[in-house]
Every structure is written in structure tokens, then in C-alpha cells.
Structure 1
């Protein structure tokens, strides 16, 4: 028996974003609240695993992060079946994202309503909408500035962050609190290694030194996900650079997009300087003179000896008697 279907009022997108130029709408107030965090930069859901600083706008993204980054199981590796690819992933979400970005060039769901342009990512559409007169989608709630790029917006939010010293004083910049701790602060926090007792000037140096006491088998190793490639790295940035250069064949050179130019440069910094001077006619920025090294003319320890606290005897044997005496005066045993 046929029945008349009645539209569910809750399915209507009645909850609309109030930020000018956004226009996003949702069926539930909770989804709207989650969406508003993309404008304010708030990320209340933080990973509680020690040493992980990741945070997210909703609990689903945090749950996915834990399953991908911290619950890896080697037996559940998934390989991309696209011909000539061979990349291996630990989770189906990573494989799905890889397929949409790398092997589906026609997948551009975000279309501009004022022209024929379409984009793979929503924030690219938001940036493009600014060329039609729409306001920037990311507005700072603490000052009148706004941004089209989320990463620049998130970087700007750090300008409003305050850094608190152990003595009770607060500073707006990290460089100011570092200078305060070196020169003025009377409360000295000792960064001492609990294993060997070596003392360091900063917490970052202590954390780097702690890697010396970790067994090599227990250290986090970032392996290359491509088949028939046995390269591995201790830092994620080194792995990303390896993939870009040797597997994706990306060149470090960037080309100037100005009309009738086409010059190439080794870095984006050089490209920006070229556009600033040649195409905009602005004067070249003068660099500040480098300060002389504090240990200029003195014998220095190698970085291995500094981080591990173990003297490099092989190097000391190569020094003459006078140099050995200078090293012992600088760093007595």
C-alpha cells in the first residue's frame, strides 16, 4: 500500500553560518558549531598520546588520526592498485585520499557559481571566490585582519598567543621570553637528563639528547611507502623530500608566472625577491650583518659529543697537545 512521504523538517539545512562570504548551511546545530571552528581556529580535540601535538576540530578526525598514526598494523597494509603506482598505505582513508588526489584528475566537486572554474578542495574554491569580490573566509576574532589561506590565518593566530615564564611574567613573542630567561629571569629551570645527569640549556636540547638513550630498534622510523624502495628516515620531512625528488620527480626549481618572464629559481624565496625587485620595482631588502660566533678561535666539540655526553676520543687523538689542553679547559671531564 502506497503512502505519502512527508519531508522531515530536520533534514532541511536551517542552520546557516553567520560569517560573511561563507554561506555554509547544516541540518544540525552541532555540525554548525564544528564548522565555526574552521573560522575561529579552535581545535579542542587533542591527541593524549605522549609526544603527539595533533589537535582537531571534531572527535571523528581525532579518532581517525589515532587509528592511522598510532594503531598501525603491518599486516593490514593496503597497496594502491593503480597501474605504475605501487604506494602502500596503513589505512583505507589514506588510500581513498590518494586515489582522489593522484589518480582522479576529473574529481573537482567544488564549482564556482560565477564562472566555470572547479576545484578539488573547498579552501581553493574559497580563495578563488575572493577574485569575484567575496570577503576572505578566515576572519580573526581578535583583530580586523582576514585571510584567504587557512595556514596563513593559523600562523597569524600565534601573534595573539602569550608565553608565560616560570617567574610569572607573560610575553607576546617567543623570542622575548627566551631573551628574558637568558638575561633577567631569576627562576632557572634545570633541564637535566634523568639517565646520565647531563644538563642542557633548553628543553628542546634535552629532548634531542634523550634519543641517545633509546635503543635503535625502538626508535620511530619513517619508511618509504613505495615498493622496491628500502630507504627509511628518522624525520618525516626527510622522507617527504625523498618521495618528492626520487619518486614523484618534482624539481626544486620554481618558475616566475609573470607575463613574458619565465625565469626559474631554486627556491620560492628567490622567486619572491625577483618579483619584488623586477616586476614591482621595490628596493632590495638589506640583510642584517651576521654576529660573530661567541666561540670563534676556540676548539669546539663535535655535535655527537655535545648531545651524547661522550668524548670523541678518535678526534682528540688527531689534535696536538696544545689543542687537547684547550679542549679540556673549555669542557672539563
Structure 2
């Protein structure tokens, strides 16, 4: 893999797009492997060029390339298109709609492909991107130093996972995630757990219950794993005494 292809792992750039389903890939080899899936599904063959399609409607749309037919026409400027989807995207130009907006410079684009190409201008060799503001940095150290600025801007911190937020409303929304995760609550200390078995084990801290007893010395443990660890002491002693008697 050359450096250009390797960089796409960091930037997320996927310039190789499947014409059948629209799925994109960072490497041409991955696209070729993917296309073999469609090859098994293509029953409709173009008599002009031999290209195959999985649906008759796609074959008919493709054949317009050979015939030059453009049945979908813009009512405002008269421009024709071979596909209805192309006309749909074209309408955005007249409406002034640019749904794909760069979060670095604010520039808007009509097509996602234009937006993806534009993002390379900002990325370049700067592969370390801040997820808070979209800025790129040459090294992870520079990014880490920069993120300290955002950390100071997020005074509202979650007491359960440590994640911080700019606004208290965002923190409250985030806390609902933990609330859904912790359906089983301890009646003594209020701590929540996702599983009832986790709550049962936790409650032994309060009750002092130790249901797992060693059958050699009678010592009790709150967890089975701790009992198993303890038993190794007896096994080790037995092994040593056996060696001493020989």
C-alpha cells in the first residue's frame, strides 16, 4: 500500500464508488472485490457494450448513454438529463441549495462528490483532525495540545464516564444514555447496573454475604473467582509438601 492510499485510512476519503449501488471504497482493489457480488446478480445485458445490470430499469437508463436520449428536462433552463436523479440534483442549483457544507471553512456544495474533493484542500498532509471544531494538525501532539482549549470550554462533566459538555442541556441529554444502561438500582447506595446479576454481586458488599466457601479451610468469599484464586494456595502447598516427602 503506497502513502497516498494509507492516508485515506486517516482522512476517511473513499474516491472509488460502485456504479451499481453507490457504495464507496478507499482502494480500487476493494471496489473490484465488491463488484464481483453484483456480477452474480446481473441478468440484463446491454447489446451495445456488453455491460450487465441487476434490474431492467437500470439497463434502460444505461442504454440512454448509447442513444443520447435525455427524457428528463429542467423546466427552468431546458437542460436535459438521462436520469431522473441527475435532474433532481440539478434543481438544487436553481434553488440555491447546497446541503453539503464544509465545517472548516463553511463553503457549501451541491454534490457530495464536490464536497469530498474539497475536503482534501483542508486535510492535505494534516491527518490529525479535531472532532470539536474540525481543524487539522500535523501531529497528534499538536492536536492533543489544541484539544485542551475545548476541554476548558466544557465545564459540565458526566460523573459516570467523565465526558464533558459545553452546555448543561447536553449533559442532561447524555445522562439519559446511562439511565437506560442502568435499570437495576441498589436500594442501599443507589448505584445502578445494567444486569440483575451485577446488582446481586454488588449487594454482597453491603450485606457481607460470602456464599462461596473453601472446602479445605472453610474460608468464605463473595465471588467465585476469588475462591478459585484462593484454592490455588492449597494446591501449591500440597504440591510442595509432596515434593518434600520424597
Same topology, TM > 0.5: no
With the length of structure 2 as denominator, give the TM-score of the two structures. Answer: 0.29
With the length of structure 1 as denominator, give the TM-score of the two structures. Answer: 0.23
In terms of Rg, which structure is larger?
2
